[in-house]
Amino acid sequence: MTCKFYLIKRKNILAENGHSWIFSNEIDGYDGEYTNGDIVESYTYDGKFLGKGYINDQSQIAIRLLTRDIDEEINRDFFKKKLNNAWEYRKKVIDTSSCRFVFGEADFLPGLIIDKFEDYYVIQSLALGIDKYKDIIVDLLVSDYGAKGIYERSDARVREKEGLALTKGFLTEPFNTMVQIIENGVKYYVDIADGQKTGFFLDQKENRKSIHKIVKDAEVLDCFTHTGSFALNAGIAGAKSVLGIDISEHAVEFCRKNAELNGLSHRVKFECHNAFDILREWSDEGKTYDVVILDPPAFTKSRDTIKSAKRGYKEINLRGIKLVKENGYLVTCSCSHFMNPELFKETISAAAKDAGRLLRQVEFRTQAPDHPILWTSDESYYLKFYIFQVI
């Protein structure tokens, strides 16, 4: 018999409003027996059925709901339907040659990330309950979606909060994990085994395309370039010259390979620098660019470090703004969920004021639609992207 969990009587319990998470401090008690990873039923304090999902009492997120239908079984057919729903949605909203196939809670499969790179797939399991169904998911990707190879990148540190070991490796027969993709007409090598996260940041796909209209014949500086994606988009779109910088020499070498792959090595250059140091140095020297792009990593991954993150975002935007020629353009992003839109806006505004410049907003965007924002799951909204003209 399925174990039943009952929530305490309290306002603002997220799961009662559509969120898939039930926190350990929201549980009043349970009836029955369970083993972590089992499917359990959850009820409000007064016995109203909320949903079924998997349990892990080692995590602060004790239950992650998979269905609100008490009669729905969590089996192969369930995952087949969920994957089909995710795929049909993406076929409507984005180029699916390479895309995020499953975005966890926003696709009603909490704890599961699947990225598609042409015919190769990367799975990231962030919760114990998903680990138990990994074989089914792999089998469906091969049988229903023609996966030539599947690699696991369950090496995110958030797994430690679930009491899980970090793991990575092949889930099918081994294959060459340096794959090639094309996005917005740009070719990339993607290192799915050792690149950051699943190997490539697909969430900026449409934002990268949006800079094409402002970079033609421009001198462009791309900071925190990582795989060189914004720099290469600028090159493809006709920039006069592009310089991409990153603190990692390994990343810089990888960018140069991507530039060569696209025949852009003569116009798109990459150098290894600490962006905070070099932007200050260049602004002091009076160096300027037509377009400056700032796409830093998340400066905060918790509420506890928001203040220091705000200082970091202000500093990098201050330096970036100072490097933009009069009537040139600033492209600036934050990929931290905890740096909420209003706080990010305030921080950019303060940086512009200190730089003595005016900002005219051209465009505001979020993450690509293959990373959908579910309004009952605030965590699914994390990327903020602005294009400004700097007056």
Residue with tokens 């990692």: 248
335 in active site: yes
**Which of 278, 299, 297 is CA-nearest to residue 289?**
278
3-state secondary structure the chain: CCCEEEECCCCCCHHHHCCCEEEHHHEEEEECCCCCCCEEEEECCCCCEEEEEEECCCCCEEEEEEECCCCCCCCHHHHHHHHHHHHHHHHHHCCCCEEEEEEHHHHCCCCEEEEEECCEEEEEECCHHHHCCHHHHHHHHHHHHCCCEEEEEECCHHHHHHCCCCEEEECCCCCCCEEEEEECCEEEEEECCCCCCCCCCHHHHHHHHHCHHHHCCCEEEEECCCCCHHHHHHHHCCCCEEEEEECCHHHHHHHHHHHHHCCCCCCEEEEECCHHHHHHHHHHHCCCEEEEEECCCCCCCCHHHHHHHHHHHHHHHHHHHHCEEEEEEEEEEECCCCCCHHHHHHHHHHHHHHHCCCEEEEEEECCCCCCCCCCCCHHHCCCEEEEEEEC
CB 108 within 8 A of CB 66: yes
CA of residue 10 relative to chain centroid, distance:
32
Select which of 99, 223, 333, 335 is catalytic: 335
CA distance 85 to 72: 16
**Which of 385, 330, 380, 382 is CA-nearest to residue 355?**
330
Question: What residues contact residue 285 under an 8 Å CB cut-off, 6+ apart?
Answer: none
> Active-site positions?
335
